[in-house]
Structure 1
Amino acid sequence: MTATELREAILRHLEFSQGKDLAHASLYDMRMALTLAIRDRIIEPWFHATRATYAAQSKRVYYLSMEFLIGRLLEDAILNVGLTEAAHEAVSGLGFDFRDVLNDEPDAALGNGGLGRLAACFLDSMSTLGCPAYGYGIRYEHGLFRQSFGPDGRQVEDAEDWLRQSHGWEFERPEASFRIGFGGSVAESGRSAVWTPENAVMAKAYDTPIVGWQGKWANTLRLWGAEPLRAFDLAAFNKGDFTGAAAPEALARTISRVLYPDDTTAQGKELRLKQEFFFTAASLRDILRRFTSEHSDLRALPSRVAIQMNDTHPAIAGPELIRLLADERGLPFEEAVDTARACLGYTNHTLMPEALERWSESLMAEVLPRHMQIIERIDEMHAKAHPTRKSSILENGEVKMGELSFIMAHRVNGVSALHTELVKSTVFSDLHALHPDRIVNETNGVTPRRWIKGANPRLSSLITETIGEGWEDHLERLTELEPAIETQEFRDRFAAVKAANKADLAEWIGTTMGISVNPDAMFDVQIKRFHEYKRQHLNILETIALWLEMRENPKAGWAPRVKIFGGKAAPGYVMAKEIIHLINNVARVVNADKATRELLTVVYPPNYNVTMAEKLIPAADLSEQISTAGKEASGTGNMKFSLNGALTIGTLDGANVEIRDLVGEENFFLFGMTADEVVERRRHPDHASSAIAESPRLTAAIEAIEAGMFSNGDKAMYRMITQNLRAHDYFTVCADFDSYWDAQRRVDTAWFDRDNWTRMAALNAARTGWFSSDRTIKGYMGDIWNISPMI
């Protein structure tokens, strides 16, 4: 498509879709017209993919995920269909700034952290590889929340409003609607049962095409919105009960309103369970509808359907699929169990027992009474088949969704080499002993189209000029950069790319936050969902200790740093929110200190999302991957940073292990205990207090907090954090502090040899092409889904 042709398509959509002429078009109108023009170009490969899949009677993948952190779609789609230059020329020729038009698109509020971003990368790779697939999730009206910071530095949560404007990418599918019930009663009927729900909502589908690289294939992201069975009670309205008249609509919309409602209350727990069943049940009915339109024998379902449960959120898929097969379609129960298991795969994302969802049996029986019966029967069947088993789905009055997922899946996968081995030896050790062939590893990856080609066009151009075209879908070709890295010319160009990206970020920070940062300083970045195991408090403690020593001796040859944090804490996670509070107040004090102003700046931009990550990652010099060893399943931020030429300071946790193996230990700043050493350390009840006593720097940092240095003299403000560190410290922040400090000083030393730093950074980019999500999806296709590409 030429720029002229695209220009005409934009003008046509301005007139007929937006109802505007060019002279009166707003930025929003231009963005929507461009979106619809590009969407038109995606329809052909989208339709082709559907027709080809039906014609070949191919197996399809159905990826069930509570989150899809897709970010902005316009630039990504333009890139994948090869229209970047044409779009730039067309939009500019119509009198609009191309970058302003792209930036007008809001981030889709459909996810929070790595789980959702992984799902988005997988959608891109499945389309790029021609793997017939649907992504299934919830069309959240408000997503997680929009984060801001109050005057006191505390996190403030406001409703996200991304759907206030029309979402130009989606197609509403009212014909694809399913009634989803809750509660009620169960009556036995012969060999099956009849569930009569007490109340119900409608799940309505909204489809977004996800196009792959070079526009050859497009799959579907189908999101479910909840609607009432009857939208409006006219009789109640006419009687003056306006609130009651709208109650059914309000109740239904609650289900698809917010991602991860606060489940510290009974009402929140019930809503969360209803959300998970809502999208899982609607997806399974849609899958069976599609299957039965082509096939009549339900026993053939596993040969045509692969369902991947992304974490335990869709774990109810096992019982629901059994119910649909046995109760509604007459398949014998045991055969329904085997059929469902042959279709289902389960990706585990956590080793923390508290993060493996559990629901009280009473809540499950109240909300999903038939499913509770099915879960009991699954547990009984498994116990009968394995009388020596120690693990059960039902335990202490709770339904353990991790065990349910494992038992109902034919494959269970970890997401990094270390994580997979720990899955076998810790959380699922008993089940692994019973089913030794069930667990496989599929190390996570990221899409290079979004995270290099789109997010870092300067680096992308340098790569293409050095090794030629075609690396975007063959990322292992980045190793071809290595000979060039040994030349001064390449290193100078690589350093210039990083410097330009840092200058852009410094300008953005100055414009949006009013903070002046030195682009020649080291940009030290930690951007993650806030959780104690990710140890943002270890980072800020070291920052405090560093600042205290800088004040004592500012001429000691410190490497100037800009410490950048980003991420949100769940509304009910009080400790994580207190860590955010502390970081912001440390920033306030440190940034106001004239003695250290040229050496240390702390920056925490609010409302971290994909768009912000696309600014931060290409500009980062140092990537903070400092989780407690044995707690991070994989991580994908660590991969994005390395691919963009940032050096990692990290523990032997998650995919850090594989990154270090690939880039070389000399190009990675390792610190901290191993997973086994962490377990051993916790056996000592005084491990935290002894670590503090042995570390003058850590002692000084904690005492500075306790003295009110960052709380306007309020000595009790951060007592929750300091008391936890002194008395409990489950995530071994104190025990790892000195090792972390020493590693940071090695970082300082390395920074002063800037040419060698550039060489190390370039080698990180060259040696991490293995972390493409294309490679990961090929692994899923061969090891779990048993499916071949269609292109």
Structure 2
Amino acid sequence: MSSDMTMADATASNVSGSTDLLQQYGCGPIHFTGTRDALYERHLMFDHVVDPTSVGPRERYEAVARSVRDVLSQRWLRTEQTYERENPKRVYYLSLEFLIGRSLANNVMNLLLDPVVARVADEKGIDWLALLEEEPDAGLGNGGLGRLAACFIDSMATMQIPAMGYGLRYEYGIFRQSLRDGWQQEQPDNWLRRPDPWEVARPQESVEITLGCSFEVRNGTFAAVPGRPSSLLGIPYDRPVIGYGGRTINTLRLWAAAAPHALDFQAFSAGDFVSALAERLSAESLTRVLYPDDSTSMGQGLRFVQEYFLVACSLADLVRRFRRTNAVGSPTDWRVLPDKVAVQLNDTHPSLTVSELMRILLDDAGLGWEEAWDLTRRTLAYTNHTLLPEALEKWPLPWFELLLPRHLEIILEINRRLLDEVRSRFPGDEGRIERVSLVEEGDPRKIRMANLAIVGSHSTNGVAAIHSDLLRTVTVKDLAELYPERFSNKTNGVTPRRWLRLANPALSRCITDAIGDGWITDLSQLAKLTPLADDGAFQDAVREAKRAMKHRFVAWLASTNGIAVDPDTIFDCQIKRIHEYKRQLLNGLRIVVLYNRMRQNPGLDMAPRTFFFAGKAAPAYRLAKVIIKFLNNLAATIDDDPAVRGRLRVVFLPEYGVSLAEKLIPASDVSNQISTAGYEASGTSNMKFMMNGALTIGTRDGATIEMAQAAGEENFFLFGLTADQVASSAGWYSPFWHHHNEPETRAALDLIFSDHFNRNEPGIFEPLRDALLTGGDRFMHLADLTAYLEADRRLLASYAAPEDWTRKVIMNIANSGRFSSDRTIAEYAAEIWDAKPCPVP
């Protein structure tokens, strides 16, 4: 990879043990010959045709990334060749999001090329950390749903499961977040502005899908033309998904939309230039942006078509592959489809897979209804990620009539048969019939996508024990009673490769020095740390690792954002999507109470703290934006108050994403997981904080319950109402009681509503008054505030006793093994997919 060192001698001199990386990655017809300048320098000069002495950091990043891709390419090909030859059961993971973050460092680590790259960077004088900053976070996801999908495909490759991820190739991410006067500002996230060195376009494998209408330009906007069918092309772009060790390299296939005909030549020749490009513009707009603003009908319609486009392209591709490997010299044996294909629907977004697979089996394969329905259900499985009724998608039936008329026929027939079954099993129960129906009556009538996914699959799972229980007993109770055998729990997990091995090198070294490196692929081995929880030397090593990561984060924050923070303060973090139920506002209230205490008692003995917030608010979510503004005004007010300066600090970090999380989580002391009990499906940031040695202050919600059970509640700071208490108090709860009877709650609210934090912008926080008081405090912030403050007191008491605190930290790390995505995927593979490893020789 450099003029001073070949791939061969770098590998030989840096990698010991039985694995011969040179042979492993030179497994195809093209061999690494040891020729100097064959990788990095070749790309540096020839990719951009520039003098290597004058290239910039972006070109250097691309050269390194393409060199790494060269190294892995033959292994990638061999993986697919092995699957074609062995014909194992394949897993297809359909997700509208894959929040993969940056790829270079992760790929180098999983390929075991760290020592090679470290030596090259040293000899070439490359600033490796600066080089990594040249890669944008891939704009393919927004929150936990997409990050979970990224962890899952990492685990599947590491565990040698033959799998492929399917998603959309968004040209723009959700948006780039900046702050102006404390308000969130949204700018386009054009992450593909420069070439992405990891993706490989496969236009020869494009698929064509059909919509029931076409589009034309009217008054400067696109208008649907009913009754005139049109086509879209799905062009696949493949990205390597490297299993740890580099032996298996699976594929993430992303679809980009294009028009079959890029230009209406007659219209263009007649001077109607805009209309001449209408087909192309309407097609390419489909995958232009992740999550269009769905506060408008146009935005919702685009989201609907995006979901169908993902489903139709992916099924066309996997069915084509199935037929190629299961119809050699004979007609396709569709009976083996469930034995060769497992399709996992990541939330309701791909629910149209049910009707699309039925369409293929009925219309293309010519099967009868009963056989097609049996094959569809045995092939598909569904993961639910939310208990919020408003998040369970429902699409207007007229949209199906316009765009997908055949799907509507199939869905209505599925519904007719479903309701007949319900009437037979529960005669006279009309309420149950209404609740399980795939069609929600109203104006307009709507199709319930979660119901469709449940009815049309053999498995429905939740993502944490409490979530799965509430899903069965509350959210879709009637369907769970109809098909109890289909419901299960698969608690989420995160990949320890990216979130510990890569993100936290200091702690990783500390762990490996103590127990070896087997934990990287078997996180349960962290349990070996339990006997070391009271070991003074190991406690010192853990504290030193945390100190190192805090200093690294502080240096990065100062250099990139110009923000100076004190690494000797407690780093108290809440980083996640901004939403009322996640209760960033509750955290803000806690800080206001602490601020009031310090103002009233300047000599108060309290450990200095820096509170970090990060997260994006959906562009149309006005209250979430007001919460961001409040947190920033709170930060500014505290900074300007000499009574608390140096003891209390609030920092809102813009543009939250994978790369920011990788830097902040290892540096954090405290993790806030404070959602209203019964609303968070699982959470995954909680797991990342846990394995990185941050202690949790949180409610009994999502996977935090299971984390506390694993490590012991004595090593957590839990508080607040349980899910049952939240549900049972909904009818009588009054936030005014807390305002009237809890002096610190009243003082905090009165301070906020006195415009203390917005003296130059009077009245801007009135929406908070409505949310917390006059609107009934739906998410029960005030009900949990006093308990939150009591948990905070316990937290500070533990922090003041370093040995006690560090013991808790070690017990959290030691018991985080269950929350590896490897464990989750093993459960999916064994209990849902019946998928086996297919080792690549």
Q: TM-score, normalised by structure 1?
A: 0.96
Instruction: Name which of 679, 691, 715 aligns with 2:727.
Output: 679
Aligned counterpart, 1:761: 809
Aligned counterpart, 1:39: 69
Within 5 Å, give how 1:683-762 maps onto structure 2: 683-684=731-732, 686-727=733-774, 728-762=776-810
Q: Does 1:552 align with 2:559?
A: no
Within 5 Å, give how 1:361-760 maps onto structure 2: 361-387=397-423, 388=426, 389-390=432-433, 391-396=436-441, 397-684=445-732, 686-727=733-774, 728-760=776-808
Instruction: Name which of 131, 134, 138 aligns with 2:164.
Output: 134
Q: CA deviation at 1:25?
A: 2.7
- Cα deviation, 1:521-563, whole Å, max 9, x if unaligned, reads 1000001011111011100111111111111112111121100
Aligned counterpart, 2:14: none
- Cα deviation, 1:159-188, whole Å, max 9, x if unaligned, reads 001100101001100011122222349xxx
Deviates more, 1:369-378 or 1:7-16: 7-16
Aligned counterpart, 2:185: 156
Deviates more, 1:656-665 or 1:509-518: 509-518
8 Å contact 1:169–1:208 — kept in the other structure?
yes
Instruction: Name which of 10, 31, 37 aligns with 1:3.
Output: 10
Q: Does 1:223 align with 2:223?
A: no
Aligned counterpart, 1:71: 101
CA distance in 2, matches of 1:392, 1:743: 44
Q: CA deviation at 1:485?
A: 2.8
CA distance in 2, matches of 1:551, 1:3: 60
Q: CA deviation at 1:299?
A: 1.9
8 Å contact 1:108–1:162 — kept in the other structure?
yes
- Cα deviation, 1:135-172, whole Å, max 9, x if unaligned, reads 00000000100000112x11111100110010100110
Secondary structure of 2:672's aligned partner? strand
Secondary structure of 1:568's aligned partner? coil
Q: CA deviation at 1:21?
A: 4.3
Q: CA deviation at 1:742?
A: 1.0
Q: CA deviation at 1:628?
A: 0.5
Percent identical: 44
Q: Quick one: structure 1 residues 510 and 102, their matched pair in 2 at CA, closer, same or farther if it must change by over 3 Å? A: closer
- Cα deviation, 1:45-93, whole Å, max 9, x if unaligned, reads 3222212212221110000000000000000000001111211211332
Within 5 Å, give how 1:170-185 maps onto structure 2: 170-184=199-213
Amino acid of the residue matched to residue 58 of structure 2? Y
Instruction: Name which of 97, 102, 124 aligns with 2:127.
Output: 97
Aligned counterpart, 1:22: 52
Instruction: Name which of 259, 271, 294 aligns with 1:263.
Output: 294
Aligned counterpart, 2:17: none
Aligned counterpart, 1:247: 278
Q: CA deviation at 1:8?
A: 4.2
Q: CA deviation at 1:713?
A: 4.8
8 Å contact 2:738–2:746 — kept in the other structure?
no
8 Å contact 1:46–1:218 — kept in the other structure?
yes
Secondary structure of 1:222's aligned partner? strand
Amino acid of the residue matched to residue 88 of structure 1? A
Secondary structure of 1:175's aligned partner? helix
Deviates more, 1:511-520 or 1:776-785: 511-520
CA distance in 1, matches of 2:771, 2:228: 46
Aligned length: 780
Q: CA deviation at 1:694?
A: 2.1
Q: CA deviation at 1:197?
A: 6.1
CA distance in 1, matches of 2:274, 2:749: 52
Q: CA deviation at 1:406?
A: 0.5
Aligned counterpart, 2:220: none
Deviates more, 1:238-247 or 1:588-597: 238-247
Deviates more, 1:41-50 or 1:290-299: 41-50
- Cα deviation, 1:613-668, whole Å, max 9, x if unaligned, reads 00110000000000010111111100000000000001110100110001111110
CA distance in 1, matches of 2:459, 2:818: 23
Amino acid of the residue matched to residue 647 of structure 1? L
CA distance in 1, matches of 2:639, 2:560: 16
Q: Does 1:338 align with 2:374?
A: yes
Instruction: Name which of 243, 257, 272 aligns with 2:303.
Output: 272
8 Å contact 1:681–1:687 — kept in the other structure?
no
Deviates more, 1:15-24 or 1:501-510: 15-24
Amino acid of the residue matched to residue 218 of structure 1? I
Amino acid of the residue matched to residue 522 of structure 1? I
8 Å contact 2:76–2:248 — kept in the other structure?
yes
CA distance in 1, matches of 2:517, 2:794: 37
Coordinate RMSD, CA, aligned = 1.6
Aligned counterpart, 1:318: 354
Deviates more, 1:601-610 or 1:478-487: 478-487
Secondary structure of 1:616's aligned partner? helix
CA distance in 2, matches of 1:658, 1:219: 31
Q: CA deviation at 1:748?
A: 1.4
Amino acid of the residue matched to residue 281 of structure 1? A
Q: TM-score, normalised by structure 2?
A: 0.91
8 Å contact 2:382–2:453 — kept in the other structure?
yes
Secondary structure of 1:386's aligned partner? helix
8 Å contact 1:18–1:33 — kept in the other structure?
no
Amino acid of the residue matched to residue 231 of structure 2? A
CA distance in 2, matches of 1:591, 1:515: 12
Aligned counterpart, 2:144: 114
Q: Does 1:205 align with 2:236?
A: yes
8 Å contact 1:7–1:90 — kept in the other structure?
no
Instruction: Name which of 64, 75, 78 aligns with 1:48.
Output: 78
Q: CA deviation at 1:196?
A: 7.8
Instruction: Name which of 49, 63, 88 aligns with 1:58.
Output: 88
Secondary structure of 1:542's aligned partner? helix
Aligned counterpart, 1:188: none
Q: Does 1:12 align with 2:48?
A: no
- Cα deviation, 1:26-61, whole Å, max 9, x if unaligned, reads 212221111111112222332222122122211100
Deviates more, 1:617-626 or 1:721-730: 721-730
Q: CA deviation at 1:213?
A: 0.3
Secondary structure of 1:520's aligned partner? coil
CA distance in 1, matches of 2:737, 2:493: 39
Amino acid of the residue matched to residue 285 of structure 2? T
Aligned counterpart, 1:123: 153
Q: Which runs of 5+ in 1 are unaligned?
A: 186-194
CA distance in 2, matches of 1:399, 1:305: 27
CA distance in 2, matches of 1:230, 1:514: 49
CA distance in 2, matches of 1:743, 1:713: 34
- Cα deviation, 1:206-227, whole Å, max 9, x if unaligned, reads 0001110000101100000011
Amino acid of the residue matched to residue 394 of structure 1? V
Deviates more, 1:224-233 or 1:107-116: 224-233
8 Å contact 2:677–2:699 — kept in the other structure?
yes
Q: Quick one: structure 1 residues 585 and 629, their matched pair in 2 at CA, closer, same or farther if it must change by over 3 Å? A: same
CA distance in 1, matches of 2:530, 2:623: 44
Aligned counterpart, 2:217: none
Secondary structure of 2:277's aligned partner? helix
Secondary structure of 1:255's aligned partner? helix
Aligned counterpart, 1:214: 245
Aligned counterpart, 2:325: 294
- Cα deviation, 1:667-711, whole Å, max 9, x if unaligned, reads 100000000000112110x52111222221121121112111111
